[in-house]
Chains A and B, each alone.
Chain A
């Protein structure tokens, strides 16, 4: 059974940093692109970043470029999101998601970890 379990969310002040983790199991993690998707309170879904199987390619939504860094450790079956210079508008539930076998849709999602940026 595919499982994605996020952790690391919490309350942080504006300008602060946070590192999210996603532990993957039930599939060959190193064979899949992975992604982070977020959802602000009461809002829709927003793709944040993705990373290729070997970490050689990474892409970001414009609003987080230069502040967020996605990474992975295939030996640990883990995905990460380092978030720096956090802003109030980064407040959201952050989901780890796996890409499907037939395209760049998201076939499995974690339960999400909440991030609140507030003073």
Chain B
């Protein structure tokens, strides 16, 4: 099973600033990595797939990078609606598909 580790667990950033979230895989997953955003009481929303491709309707301030075992989600200029929990997920080796434990992005 591929273990996904996200860091940091909590990230405090001011609106308008850049946020950088990390995700590490215990073994290589090529570019088969997705990012999701989840707000309280809501279902997750797909942001990025293929490590760097934005999903339909996702603003350009969200970008993904990386391959193999190290991945990054960057939000270039934080808006109020971006404060949420973010999860990475690998889909290279399955079953099972595995998620990171999440990074909570909070307002500083």
Chain A residues near B (Cβ < 8 Å): 35, 44-47, 50, 59-62, 95, 100, 102-112
Contacts and interface: CB of A to CB of B under 8 A. Distances in A.
B89 A110 contact: no
Interface residues of B, number: 25
B32 A103 contact: yes
Interface of B: 32, 34, 36, 38, 42-46, 49-50, 53, 55, 87, 89, 91, 94-102
B102 A102 contact: no
Q: Which of A45, A47, A59, A100 has the most CB of B within 10 A?
A: A45
A60 B97 CA distance: 10
A59 B49 contact: no
A60 B55 CA distance: 26
A46 B4 CA distance: 12
A45 B44 contact: yes
Contacts of B98: 47
12 contacts: A44-B99, A44-B101, A45-B38, A47-B97, A59-B95, A62-B96, A102-B49, A102-B53, A104-B91, A105-B91, A106-B34, A106-B89
